[in-house]
Structure formats: C-alpha cells, structure tokens
Structure 1
Amino acid sequence: MSRPSRRDESGQVTLLVIGFATVIAMAIVLVVDASAAYLQRSGLDTLADGAALHGADLGATGVDVYTGGVPEQRLALTQADAQRAVEEYLGSVGAYRSYPGLVAQVAVADGDTVQVELSAPLDLPLSFPGSPAGGRVAATGSAVSTIE
C-alpha cells in the first residue's frame, strides 16, 4: 500500500501576506488621496465664497454709491470691477501661494450677482503606480448685491 504524497505548501502564507499588504497599501493610498482632494476642494469652496462676497460688496462700497447715492433697486456691478475685486481678495488672503496654479473665472449675472469659479491643480500626497498623476479640483461661489 502506497502513501499519498504530500505537496510542499511552504511559501503560500508569504504570498498571501504580500497580497493582503498590497491591498491594504492601496486602501491607505486611496483614503489619504481622497481626504486630500476633499480638503483642497473644501478650501477652494471657502475661497470662492469669500471672493464672491468681496466682489458683490464692491457694489455696496464703490465710488458710485458715494458720488451718486444708493440706487432704488439694485447696486450695479461691472465685470471688470468684480474681476478686479476678486483678484485683489485672492491676493490679499494668499490664495495664490496656497494653491499654485490657481485660476479664477468671474462672471456678473443680472447686474447684481457675482459668480466665481476657482480651479487649481490637485496636489495628491501619495501616488500608486498606474494611478492618475493628477487632475484639477474646482469650486464655485456666488453672492448677490441687493438693497434692503
């Protein structure tokens, strides 16, 4: 009667541990990068809201109000003035230092609404081979300048 041969299973646990370690490392990279992207977008949201408020406030504190008085219905905002106010705000709070490559697009809608869209390159702290190298993150903010 012959005995059944036993296969040598040494090294199987090592392969399993390496596989699990790779999956755990990928999960850590995913969580860290997703958190970094969320925090960057959240910071851009705050900047976009502040820039829009600063641009809309321009209509309430501009020279026209002091020289011509407060209009009866709405404060007039021009595209050039709103763009200048937004750029001034972003420069004063250090947004261009915090987010290198920051791009601001400003629009004035209906003569009293300032809409600001900010976008910046996505700076991911970790990367995994084969993952995208980067991207852009964007945020929008808007504010209305009206008389009450």
Structure 2
Amino acid sequence: MSATGRRARLLRDARARLRRRSAAGESGQVTLLILGYTLVAALLIMGTVAVTSAQLSRVRLLDAADGAALDAADSLDLGAYRSGLDDAVAVSDDTVRRTATDYLAERPLPPAMRAWQVSAGTGSPDGQTAVVRLTGEADLPFVGPLLDAFGSSVTITVESRARADLEPAP
C-alpha cells in the first residue's frame, strides 16, 4: 500500500472514530434538558397552586370578617343607647370584640385555614362603626409542609368595617 493510500485510510478511520465519539458524547443530553424543563414547569405549577390557595384563604377570611363586622354593627351597646339616638346604632369596643368573637365561634373553620382569631384593632373608633380585624393561619398545599419544617407559616390579616345607619321616622 502506498503512503497516500495509508494516509487516506488513517484519515477515514480517524473521521469514523470522531463520529462515533461525538455521537456517544451527545447521548442523554436531550433527556437532561427535558427533565430540567419538566422540573421548572412542576415548580411553577406548585407555586401557582400555593398562591391561589393563599388568595382563596384571604377571601374566606375577609368573608368571615365582613359577617362579624355586620353582626357587630347591629349589636347595640346599651350604655351608649341610654344617652339617646344618633344617626347610627351605637357600638363600643367591647361590644364589637365580644360580638366578633362569638360570631367566629359559631362558624366552622373554612377549608385550608388552620386557625383564626379576632386580633388587635377590633373595636369602634367613633362609637358607630364596627371595625373587625381577623388573623388566620393558612394551610397551603405543597408549600405548607416545607414551611412547617422551618417553623413558619402563612399568616393572613384582614379588616372589615360596618355601620348600621338609622333612618328618621317619616
């Protein structure tokens, strides 16, 4: 075999080895890419579910605060009533707190809520408006156990106001 033939054969063999090596080196790269994208998509979905659950918990807590404020606005404070009628039902801080606490005690805990309570700031700033502040601890899917492991939780605080206006007799 001539030198040119040997050189051509060596060149052909080198190219064949290079093709085999590069084909073997690419093996599994697409699988890792798909696995990475799947992991990112799963994390985005779980995050979206957790945020949606927190929002729903906030809405349920706000609904309870609205009901408690309406109930408290209708509960007449007899001490203030003795001094006469004004343009709204007279309420006091104590009446609002007591009525809101009783309202929550009568209601079942909403789904995805671990606990709720009447918090500071509940009362009547002007003697006619009932202000109810509720604090609740939300139980979030996927994220809740992770937060529990770190000794933390998601706390939601809402505030609702209500006033029972009186209309003069015709």
**Normalised by the shorter chain, which TM-score bucket?**
0.7 to 0.9
Aligned with 2:107 (options 93, 97, 106): 93
Q: Answer yes or no: is 1:57 the counterpart of 2:74.
A: yes
Deviation by residue 1:25-77 (Cα, 9 ceiling, x = unmatched): 10110111011111100100100000000000102xx6569x85961433321
Point out where structure 2 has 5 or more consecutive residues left out of the alignment: 1-7
* 1:71 partner amino acid: L
Residue correspondence of structure 1 range 33-44 to structure 2 within 5 A: 33-44=50-61
What's the RMSD between the two structures over aligned residues?
2.9
Specify the SS of the correspondent of 2:143: coil
Higher relative contact order (CA 8 A, sep 6+): 1
Specify the SS of the correspondent of 1:100: strand
What is the Cα deviation at residue 127 of structure 1?
Answer: 2.4
TM-score, reference length from structure 2: 0.72
- Asked if the contact 1:115/1:143 (under 8 Å) is kept, the reply is yes
Specify the SS of the correspondent of 1:73: coil
- Asked if the contact 1:82/1:108 (under 8 Å) is kept, the reply is yes
Specify the SS of the correspondent of 1:108: coil
For this pair of structures, how many residues does the alignment match? 145
Point out where structure 1 has 5 or more consecutive residues left out of the alignment: none
CA distance in 2, matches of 1:20, 1:130: 22
Q: Which 10-residue stretch deviates more, 3-12 or 116-125?
A: 3-12
TM-score, reference length from structure 1: 0.82
What is the Cα deviation at residue 130 of structure 1?
Answer: 7.5
Aligned with 2:155 (options 110, 131, 136): 136
The equivalent of 1:76 in structure 2 is 90
CA distance in 1, matches of 2:44, 2:132: 35
**Bigger helix fraction:** 2
Q: Answer yes or no: is 1:147 the counterpart of 2:166.
A: yes
Specify the SS of the correspondent of 2:96: helix
Instruction: From the superposition, tell whether residues 28 and 140 of structure 1 become closer, same or farther in structure 2 (CA, over 3 Å).
Output: same
